[in-house]
Amino acid sequence: MVPLALALVPLALTLLLRYRHHVALLWRAGPARWLRDRLSGLRPEERALRFLLQHALPGDPDHVLGTLDRWGLQREHLPCLGPQKGGIVERLVRARGPRWALQLGAGSGYEAVLLARSLPPGARLLALEPDPRRAEVARAVLRLAGFHPPAVQVLQGRAAALLPGLRARGRLPPAELVLLAHGERRFLRLLLLLERQRLLAPGATVLAHHVLFPGAPRLLQYVRSCPRYRCRLHRAALEFCPGVPDGVADIRFAGYA
């Protein structure tokens, strides 16, 4: 057994070196986060908000995002777009200039601030977040960055419960841009919900990240095989983990015909 174990040491070291970024991410997002949660009684987004309130300049969305980037790089991993994928999303939003945007999953508020600063003047953004504590964090981050209702609004609740009612009451026109921000396992289900409620405007852009890591294979398979969609994948690194590949799916909706 000892010779076999010694023979496996080079292989183990090779794998550890090759996947060191994944191992570091697993530690930061697993045991280290669990320990911080238990010691602080707070969630990662709430700890990041405390850091923001101490260090970010109120009313400056660029500084708010930069401070969140600093938290994610230096303190603990924060699931969000991050600077590299955020730059891709910002470039796409500015190029297409949507007047009405919908975000599904508000998380830490990072994506909502990035979208709000990228939209053209007079555009509106609605973000839906099922978790009440994360919804409160997102609202606080948006206020700190200088964005307020009705231009930017966060509603707490599940998309499947909120969207039909908002649509029926005429409070939700078809979106020209949708960001699938969190819960990659639900991305396809959310896209199909938007289709059923006819909440995608013809020519709308649907953006999704974390499609390679942790991965959203069912979403990518669907949009690549459905004639109503055209999909382009913009490859980038996972937020705050340069050695872990991820990407932003840029999905264009042709229409319901």
Residues 13 and 122 in one domain: no
**64 shares its domain with 159:** no
Indicate the residue among 57, 74, 91 that finishes a domain: 74
| pLDDT score, position 27 | 65
Domain shared by 108 and 42, yes or no: no
Domain identity same for 11 and 126: no
Number of domains observed in the structure of the chain: 2
Mean pLDDT of 89-118: 97
pLDDT at 109 over 60: yes
- Whole-model pTM: value is 0.90
Q: Given pLDDT bands bounded at 50, 70 and 90, which one contains residue 89? A: very high
97 and 140 fall within a common domain: yes
Residue 215 sits in the same domain as residue 168: yes
Residue 2 pLDDT grade (very low, low, confident, very high; cuts 50, 70, 90)? low
Determine the pLDDT at residue 37: 83
Residues 182 and 148 in one domain: yes
Nearest to 210 by CA among 116, 77, 91, 55: 77
* pLDDT value at 143 more than 90: yes
CB within 8 Å of 161: residues ≥ 6 apart: none
**Per-residue exposure over 65-95, b if at least 16 CB sit within 10 Å of its own CB, e if not:** bebbbebbeeebbbbbbbbbbbebbbebbee
Asked if 180 and 225 sit in the same domain, the reply is: yes
> What pLDDT, in 10s, does the model give residues 246-257?
999 999 999 987
Q: Single out the residue in 26, 55, 74 at which a domain terminates.
A: 74
Percent of the chain, pLDDT > 70? 89
Range 124-129 average pLDDT: 97
Mean pLDDT of 185-198: 96
Eight-class DSSP state of 184? G
pLDDT at 167: 86
Which of 27, 51, 74 is at the close of a domain? 74
Is 199 within 8 Å of 165 (Cβ atoms)? no
Lowest mean pLDDT among 31-35, 91-95, 215-219: 31-35
User: pLDDT per residue over 38-61, tens digit each?
Assistant: 889 999 999 999 999 999 999 999
What is the tally of helices (H) and strands (E) in the chain? 11, 7
Domain span at residue 228 reads 82-253
The arithmetic mean of pLDDT across residues 156-173, rounded, is 90
Q: Give the three-state DSSP class for 226.
A: coil
Shared domain for 165 and 248, answered yes or no, is yes
Q: Are residues 60 and 88 in the same domain?
A: no
Question: What CATH number has the domain bearing residue 238?
Answer: 3.40.50.150
Q: Give CA–CA dist 255/238, Å, rounded.
A: 31
Task: Mark whether 86 and 64 lie in a shared domain.
Answer: no
pLDDT at 158 over 90: yes
Is residue 193 located within the same domain as residue 114? yes
Specify the pairing of strand 152-156 against strand 175-180.
unpaired
pLDDT of residue 15: 47
